[in-house]
Structures are given as C-alpha cells and as structure tokens.
Amino acid sequence: TIDQALVLLGHEGDDLAEAIRTYPNATDWARRATVAGGGTVTALDLVREAVRVGAEGLTQVAATLAAVR
C-alpha cells in the first residue's frame, strides 16, 4: 500500500541520515571512489545526489497523490 511504502521510505531516510551524521571525520567526506563508466565521486557527492533524488521522488509522489485525490 502507499502507507506502507511511505513508512518504509521514512525508515530508509532515517537510516541514511544517521549514517551521514555518524560519518567518521571531515576528511573522509573528500575521499574519492571510481564509478562505473569512468570518473570519480566523493562521499559528499554521493550524499548530495541521494538527497536530490529523494527530494525529486517526494515531489513526484506529492503530485501523484494530489492528482488522485
């Protein structure tokens, strides 16, 4: 159901926020990793992208719910 999906999304968001909050130290945020297809990203880049994608998804959910009401 939609309610179950939203609860799961909330739990996942909480888990991500806790992982970010407890990240070891500031220098680790700049650590680089190679990604598929070439190039590199930092840990901070990954967090930024997760937040962007999550916000975009929530905006789409809100629009869908408004349309069906």
Q: Is 15 helix (H, G, I), strand (E, B) or coil?
A: helix
Q: Supply the DSSP symbol for 64.
A: H
Calpha distance 55→13 (Å, rounded): 11
pLDDT at 60 over 80: yes
Supply the pLDDT for residue 41: 95
Supply the pLDDT for residue 40: 96
pLDDT at 10 over 80: yes
Summarised one tens digit per residue, pLDDT across range 17-56 is 888 888 878 788 899 999 999 999 998 998 899 889 988 9
Q: Which tokens go with 39? A: 């190039």
